[in-house]
Chains A and B, each alone.
Chain A
Amino acid sequence: MQPKPFILKVLDIVSIIVLAVAAYLALVFAPTEAVMGQVQRVFYFHIGTAWVGLLGFVIAAVAGVTYLITKNARWDRFEVAAVEVSTVFFFITIVLGSIWARPAWNTWWTWDPRLTTAAITELIYIAYFMLRQGIEDPEKRARFGAVYTLLGGISAPITFMVIRLFRTIHPVVIGSQSAAAQGGFSMTSDMKVAFFFSLFAFTVIFIDLMWHRIRLGSLEDKVEQLKLKVSM
């Protein structure tokens, strides 16, 4: 395996720093929201992780299409990395949302359009790994995975748009929200600083983790090829 590139080492350090700064801005710098209290601070990481989660699913769909066109295994590794990192972040999003919902909505979970589409999206991508595990032939696995992410990718924009199109209790931060929305609030300038920095921080962390996962994918492919050679 190639040694870790210098830029990746720098990106690792930058990721730790921006995560620490994002946590500081969310937990200390941003003012306490008057109605919900401290739990509103969960919102900064909730949105940050949701942003990279949904972004990664769209990136995976694009990588899937590119793989189907080029048949280059590099795009398959890229796709797997995007799905894996996004699935982790989107899981955090869902749980943070649930924790926020308990005091805000007086329930951990409700089958609201946004929560339902988010849960379906997460399950789609958990099933993606089950699908890949079940296929031994690497080429077939990559082809099936690419088609799957292409279809699964549709769930990301649906999840994003659902609170803007349907009657839902989930608040909308940017744009107009449903009349039924509960727990919404208008951001002060300090809240906006924490909010936008959180988006930036999670984008940096996402790129860093993606890069590590792509390198891991290359190593997995190398080991798989070596196993084939040795068994022959």
Chain B
Amino acid sequence: MEAIPDTSGYMIAGYVFAFVVMGIYVFSLYLRNSNLKRDAETLDSLQAEQSSSSKKK
């Protein structure tokens, strides 16, 4: 009977790769979300400033 070949290194590489890519993607979603939230807040305050200065005029 032939022995089962040792291919565990490939298996570990595969699973590490899959988890790392999924992790990077989830982190990118989080990062883009927090950047956009900050942008939205800044733009909201800019818009409020603009509308208050136009009222004064």
Could you list 9 examples of A-B contacts with CB < 8 Å? A36-B7, A38-B8, A39-B7, A45-B18, A92-B22, A99-B14, A102-B10, A216-B29, A223-B39
Contacting pair B7 A49 (CB below 8 A): no
Contacting pair B14 A45 (CB below 8 A): yes
Q: Does A51 contact B (CB under 8 A)?
A: no
Number of interface residues of B (CB under 8 A): 28
For chain A, the bracket of interface size reads 35 or more
| A38-B7 contact, Cβ under 8 Å, with A88-B21, A100-B14 | yes
Contacting pair A37 B6 (CB below 8 A): yes
Contact of B43 among A37, A46, A227 (CB under 8 A): A227
| A167 CB contacts on chain B under 8 angstroms | none
B37-54, CB < 8 A from A: 37, 39-40, 43-44, 46-47, 50
Q: How far apart sit A38 and B40, CA to CA, in the bound complex (Å)?
A: 49
Contacting pair A223 B36 (CB below 8 A): yes
| A95-B40 contact, Cβ under 8 Å, with A34-B4, A219-B33 | no
Contacting pair B21 A23 (CB below 8 A): no
Q: How far apart sit A10 and B36, CA to CA, in the bound complex (Å)?
A: 24
Interface residues of B (CB under 8 A from A): 4-8, 10-11, 13-15, 17-18, 21-22, 25-26, 29, 32-33, 36-37, 39-40, 43-44, 46-47, 50
**Residues of A contacting B: mostly:** helix
Q: Does A139 contact B (CB under 8 A)?
A: no
Contacting pair A226 B44 (CB below 8 A): yes
Contacting pair A96 B40 (CB below 8 A): no
**B38 to A: closest C-beta gap in Å:** 10
Q: Who on chain B is nearest to A95 by CB? A: B17
Q: Does A190 contact B (CB under 8 A)?
A: no
| A92 CB contacts on chain B under 8 angstroms | 17-18, 21-22
Q: Who on chain B is nearest to A93 by CB? A: B18
Q: Does A230 contact B (CB under 8 A)?
A: yes
Q: How far apart sit A145 and B46, CA to CA, in the bound complex (Å)?
A: 32
